[in-house]
A = this chain, B = another copy of it.
Amino acid sequence: MTGGLFQRLVAAAGGTWQAYTRHEFVLRLARGDLPEAAFRHYLVQDYRFLLHFARAWGLAVYKSENLAEMRRAHSLVAATLDVEIGLHIDYCRGWGLSEAEIAAEPEALETIAYTRFVLDRGLAGDRLDLEVALAPCIVGYAEIAAERVADPATRQDGNPYREWLAMYAGAEYQSLAQDAAAALDDAFARRGGEGRFPALAATFATAARLEADFWQMGLAAA
Contact = CB atoms under 8 A, between A and B. Distances in A.
Interface of A: 51, 54-65, 67, 70-71, 73-74, 77-78, 81, 85, 107, 109-110, 112-113, 116-117, 119-120, 123-126, 129, 188-196, 199, 206, 210, 213
A62 B112 contact: no
Contacts of A194: 193
28 contacts: A54-B61, A54-B74, A55-B70, A55-B124, A58-B60, A58-B61, A58-B70, A59-B61, A61-B61, A62-B119, A65-B124, A65-B199, A71-B81, A74-B77, A78-B78, A109-B110, A109-B210, A112-B210, A116-B120, A120-B120, A124-B126, A190-B195, A190-B196, A190-B199, A191-B196, A192-B193, A193-B193, A193-B195
Given A55-B61, A63-B124, A116-B120, 6 more contacts: A58-B73, A62-B124, A65-B124, A67-B81, A74-B78, A193-B194
Contacts of A195: 188-193
